[in-house]
């Protein structure tokens, strides 16, 4: 057995002969605040208290919430800290607000150093466990979701937990055909790479963990960006970013896909989706797969990002994976360019009751505006409204009778474009109200009286329609200009602004980073906020994605739904058919829809997968579950392929049903 480490106050060296050469050393540090951190921490607190929409009160309640949130961010799966550690740190629960007023971050660094001590000890213990084969014949299991699990109380319980955790990782590899020598080597390398990754941690990283544990209490869209993170954020906001076209987040030890950018390489691959987890990353067709479990998000982004045309391989655990079984996918990196994000149109010809009707469909991936081209005076600058107006005029020449605006997976963008796009469908009037952190409300209005399309229309939305998409959909719904169909939207009704911390204070000329701060809230013209509640469709489809996973409701710190007085506007009353009658016809069609049946079955299957609390550590049971699950997935895919071949109109369920609803409403 490898000798356990003794951690002192001085920096030490960790020897890992179990995997690496005896000469290999990984330096460990004891972290402490840099000179600027006390002033910076105090400044962030003042900004949250003064300029944030919520005006965060600095009191014992905040202190207690910050204490819990920091612990959760450090150890979300509760596998590192012991109960005795928590009991010791409990003395800090109601002291952190006083420290914030003083700019004292010593306790945060002390808590992180203890976390690091435990983490290194557990890696060392994992190396010990991998010296001999596991017994996979026992009826044992590992708890998958430990977010609410009790902290382990004893060393015996601690070791047993990590034995089951390591055994679970080993069983997944063994079931994939790896022998003991191979899977133990893979796991040793995985943890050794984690060790090297953690050794890169700097004082600034520790401060960022703690500062963001504070800022996200204000709301989930308020963040502290260290100087390095600020540069990465600026890069990620550029449409010329070379990568896979996906936004990432962390969940326990995994990096998770939060959103797939429409028109990007990941979207075009049709192999990776929101909520999928990434376990490892490899470069090129045969580069080594590097485990990214427990890695910092910015380092993961750095590994995935690369030159246009190069290949990145991802080990992905999909949302419907059986027993966390992973797959390797290849994606060719490319630039996310404005053209890929642009609006696109098509015409659907529908035969019904002996009559052929043309329906125009405009798919809008984002609300874009080429500000740079506009500022340099380019008359052909691209914008959502200009492009959609052009497409509508082309569709009118094709004599369409109705129009569908598809905002599914549209995460938002320019507020100005959301307002101006609404103006293509109404004569004039308010579109959205914005209430700032001073309590001042201002309506954003369409002042152009021209109407580009005055015929029947519907708007399609889903769980990933957010922000500007919700503003447009809500306005169409409130004006009774058209029907909104699909899933309840994301519920992001807040406005953020970037604050450069160097504009507040100068500390020896150092770069201090930025704070992305929520400063205002959106409200529908009917008075309710789009925040938290989102837009509820007139005719709603069930969603495979829960609002507890995707949407403002997923965060305990999200700003709440509320209402303000309605704006003065006139309803257009263009959704003339009784909504109850429309729903009855819709429900009747869905009774006979194979696609709708598949959707509900997929939702139930996904729910069962998410409700699974434990994974078996018995090899025979594991393989049986895997075989049953994989066969079920193959059978389901075969059924869907057959449906697409025999009933193509039923395979694009929501779009085609929205057209039927449009025809009901003509």
Q: Where are the chain's structural domains?
A: 13-216, 240-335, 339-576, 595-664
Asked if the model's pLDDT at residue 13 lies above 80, the reply is no
Asked if the model's pLDDT at residue 236 lies above 60, the reply is no
Find, among 490, 489, 510, 485, the residue nearest to 664 by Cα: 485
Model pTM above 0.75? yes
Q: Mean pLDDT over residues 385-413, rounded?
A: 95
Q: Over pLDDT 90: what percentage of the chain? A: 65
Cα diameter, the chain: 84
Find, among 52, 11, 5, the residue nearest to 495 by Cα: 52
Asked if the model's pLDDT at residue 506 lies above 50, the reply is yes
Of 174, 262, 492, 521, the catalytic one is 492
pLDDT digit string, tens, across residues 30-42: 999 999 999 999 9
Least confident of 73-82, 226-235, 366-375, 459-468: 226-235
CB 198 within 8 A of CB 27: no
And the tokens for 276? 């999928």
Of 75, 97, 478, 656, the catalytic one is 478
Asked if the model's pLDDT at residue 274 lies above 60, the reply is yes
Coil, strand or helix at 449: coil
Asked if the model's pLDDT at residue 208 lies above 90, the reply is yes
CA 498 to chain centre: 20
467 flagged as catalytic? yes
Asked if the model's pLDDT at residue 185 lies above 50, the reply is yes
Position 9 confidence tier, pLDDT thresholds 50, 70, 90: very low
Coil, strand or helix at 66: helix
Residue 446: left (phi > 0), alpha (psi -120 to 50), or beta? beta
Asked if the model's pLDDT at residue 647 lies above 60, the reply is yes
CATH architecture of 339-576: Alpha-Beta Complex (3.90)
Q: Mean pLDDT over residues 87-95, rounded?
A: 98
Find, among 303, 260, 259, the residue nearest to 279 by Cα: 303
Calpha distance 503→477 (Å, rounded): 42
Least confident of 132-146, 404-418, 574-588: 574-588
Whether 240-335 and 339-576 share one fold: the answer is no
Q: Mean pLDDT over residues 174-182, rounded?
A: 93
Of 63, 184, 208, 467, the catalytic one is 467
pLDDT value for 19: 45
Give the residue with greater pLDDT, 598 vs 421: 421
What one-character-per-residue DSSP string does 392-440 give? HHHHHHTT-SEEEEE-TT---B-HHHHHHHHTTTSSSEEEEEEEETTS-
Position 420 confidence tier, pLDDT thresholds 50, 70, 90: very high
Asked if the model's pLDDT at residue 259 lies above 90, the reply is no
Calpha distance 187→74 (Å, rounded): 22
Read off φ and ψ for residue 661, nearest 5 degrees: -65, -40
145 flagged as catalytic? no
pLDDT digit string, tens, across residues 312-370: 999 998 887 877 788 899 999 887 665 567 899 999 999 988 899 999 999 999 998 88
Read off φ and ψ for residue 451, nearest 5 degrees: -120, 130
Find, among 455, 450, 454, 491, the residue nearest to 473 by Cα: 491
CB 655 within 8 A of CB 404: yes
Calpha distance 583→121 (Å, rounded): 60
Coil, strand or helix at 612: coil
Find, among 418, 455, 403, 459, the residue nearest to 654 by Cα: 459
The answer to whether domain 240-335 has CATH 2.30.42.10 is: yes
Q: Would you mind telling me the total number of residues written for the chain in this entry?
A: 666
């Amino acid at each position: 057995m490898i000798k356990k480490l003794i951690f002192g106050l001085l920096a030490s060296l960790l020897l890992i002969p179990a995997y690496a050469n005896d000469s290999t050393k990984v330096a460990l540090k004891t972290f402490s605040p840099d000179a600027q951190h006390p002033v910076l921490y105090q400044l962030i607190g003042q900004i949250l208290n003064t300029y944030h929409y919520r005006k965060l009160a600095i009191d014992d309640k905040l202190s207690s919430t910050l204490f819990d949130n920091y612990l959760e961010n450090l150890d979300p799966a509760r596998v590192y800290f012991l109960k005795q550690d928590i009991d010791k740190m409990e003395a800090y629960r109601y002291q952190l607000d006083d420290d914030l007023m003083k700019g004292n971050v010593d306790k945060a660094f002390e808590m992180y150093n203890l976390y690091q001590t435990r983490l290194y000890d557990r890696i060392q213990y994992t190396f010990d466990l991998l010296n001999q084969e596991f017994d996979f014949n026992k009826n044992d299991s590992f708890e998958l979701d430990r977010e609410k699990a009790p902290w382990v109380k004893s060393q015996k319980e601690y070791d047993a937990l990590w034995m089951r955790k390591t055994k679970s990782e080993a069983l997944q590899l063994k079931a994939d055909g790896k022998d003991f020598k191979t899977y133990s080597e893979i796991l040793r390398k995985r943890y050794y790479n984690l060790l090297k990754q953690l050794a890169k941690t700097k004082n600034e990283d520790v401060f960022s963990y703690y500062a963001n544990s504070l800022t996200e209490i204000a709301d989930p869209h308020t963040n502290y960006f260290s100087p390095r993170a600020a540069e990465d954020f600026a890069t990620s906001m550029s449409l010329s970013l070379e990568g896979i076209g996906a936004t990432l987040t962390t969940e326990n030890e995994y990096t998770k896909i939060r959103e797939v950018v429409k028109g990007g390489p990941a979207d075009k691959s049709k192999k990776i989706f929101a909520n999928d987890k990434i376990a490892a990353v490899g470069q090129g067709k045969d580069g080594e797969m590097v485990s990214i479990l427990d890695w910092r998000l910015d380092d993961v982004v750095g590994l995935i990002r690369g030159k246009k045309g190069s290949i990145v391989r991802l080990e992905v655990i999909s949302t419907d994976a059986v027993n966390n079984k992973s797959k390797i996918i290849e994606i060719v990196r490319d630039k996310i360019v404005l053209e890929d994000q642009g609006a696109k149109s098509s015409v659907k010809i529908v035969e019904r009751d002996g009559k052929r009707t043309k329906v125009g469909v405009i798919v809008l991936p984002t609300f874009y505006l080429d500000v740079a081209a506009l500022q340099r005076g380019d008359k052909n600058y691209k914008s959502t409204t200009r492009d959609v107006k052009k497409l509508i005029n082309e569709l009118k020449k094709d004599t369409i009778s109705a129009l569908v605006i598809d905002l599914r997976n549209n995460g938002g963008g320019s507020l100005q474009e959301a307002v101006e796009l609404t103006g293509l469908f109404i004569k004039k009037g308010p579109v959205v109200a914005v209430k700032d952190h001073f309590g001042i409300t201002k309506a954003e209005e369409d002042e152009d009286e021209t109407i580009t399309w005055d015929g029947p229309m519907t708007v399609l939305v889903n769980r990933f329609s957010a922000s500007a998409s919700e503003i447009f959909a809500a306005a169409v719904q409130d004006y009774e200009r058209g029907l909104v169909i699909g899933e309840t939207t994301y519920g992001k009704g807040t406005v953020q602004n970037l604050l450069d911390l160097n504009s507040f204070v100068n500390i020896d000329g150092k770069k201090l980073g930025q704070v992305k701060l929520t400063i205002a809230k959106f409200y529908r013209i009917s008075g309710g906020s789009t925040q938290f509640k989102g837009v509820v469709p007139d005719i709603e489809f069930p969603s495979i994605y829960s609002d507890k996973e995707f949407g403002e409701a997923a965060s305990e710190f999200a700003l709440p739904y509320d209402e303000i007085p309605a704006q003065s506007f006139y309803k257009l009353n263009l959704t003339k058919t009784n909504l109850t009658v429309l729903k009855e016809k819709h429900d009747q069609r869905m009774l006979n829809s194979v696609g709708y049946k598949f959707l509900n079955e997929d939702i139930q299957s996904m729910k069962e997968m998410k409700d699974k609390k434990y994974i078996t550590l018995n090899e025979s049971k594991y393989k049986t579950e895997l075989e049953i699950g994989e066969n079920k997935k193959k059978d389901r895919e075969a059924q869907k392929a057959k449906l697409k071949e025999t009933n193509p109109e039923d395979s694009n369920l929501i779009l085609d049903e929205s057209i039927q609803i449009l025809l009901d409403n003509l």
